[in-house]
Amino acid sequence: MKTIDVCLSPELMHLYDVKDRTVVVVDVLRATSCMVTAFAHGAQSIVPFAALEECRMMHEKGFITSGERNGEKVPGFDKGNSPFEYMSDEIKGQRIAFTTTNGTQAIEKARYAKEVIIGSFLNLSSVAKYLLLGENSVLVVCAGWKGRVNLEDTLFAGAIVDKLKDHLGPDCDAPLAARHLCNLAKDNMAGFLSESSHVKRLNRLNIYRDFEFCLKHDEYRVLPKLKNGVLVV
């Protein structure tokens, strides 16, 4: 039987053998939500970068440079980390270089997995269906905040575990904890998250509408996958 596990922080990745697993990287607020949105609006590819300056240099190669540090747009970049920036017609057919405080760092740490896909609430069912039909056991990697656990990514992990509970068995207690937490929150997820550290951080930046949008389920049916260091659909 295939199994599912949850890595609550990228700093714990060294505890997992991922060479035969499908890894789902999630950064609900907001990196993977932006990536899913960009592909849903026709982006050609996204190259994730852990290092800011490496990402910046991609502008000279014709890429849209996108990203944030500590929740704020990187000075000189074309776009920040709001999903609403990736809904315009100009995104169609574009190559995007992306770097963020947490999400792209998690993708970097997951690169040795058998395969890496990108998850968010916006494409929740597409992710679950893919994992159900796939042959591999699963590890959901929560991007967290600077190595620390956060609530929103844990809730996404719990939602995936819940959707697959009849087909993939838990590897340890982390999937069970995430699932139970998600079930507690599911009737009012925004309210449940209202006191979380990252939501408070985003509220200070006056981007509450990003928070509301990123919690929407199944807005899109795209499934970004990492191929030779590049995200494509």
pLDDT, tens digit, for every residue of 81-96?
999 999 999 999 999 9
pTM of the model: 0.96
Per-residue pLDDT averaged across 173-198, rounded?
A: 93
Count of C-beta atoms within a 10 Å radius of residue 49: 23
Predicted confidence (pLDDT) at residue 204 exceeds the cutoff of 90: no
pLDDT of residue 201: 77
pLDDT of residue 194: 85
Cα separation, 164 vs 95, in Å, equals 33
Task: Assign 3 a pLDDT band (cuts: 50, 70, 90).
Answer: very high
Count of C-beta atoms within a 10 Å radius of residue 16: 16
Give tens-digit pLDDT for 133-145. Answer: 999 999 999 999 9
Per-residue pLDDT averaged across 16-45, rounded?
A: 97
pLDDT of residue 199: 76
- Per the structure, the count of domains in the chain is 1
**CATH, residue 22:** 3.90.1560.10
Per-residue pLDDT averaged across 2-22, rounded?
A: 97
Predicted confidence (pLDDT) at residue 29 exceeds the cutoff of 80: yes
pLDDT of residue 200: 79
8-state DSSP, 149 = -
Which 3 state secondary structure label does DSSP give 140? strand
Task: Give the range of the structural domain holding residue 113, as residue numbers without chain letter.
Answer: 3-232
Per-residue pLDDT averaged across 30-47, rounded?
A: 98
pLDDT of residue 196: 84
Predicted confidence (pLDDT) at residue 171 exceeds the cutoff of 90: no
Residue 21: which H helix or E strand, with range?
strand 21-26
Average pLDDT of the residues of the chain: 95
pLDDT of residue 205: 74
Predicted confidence (pLDDT) at residue 57 exceeds the cutoff of 90: yes
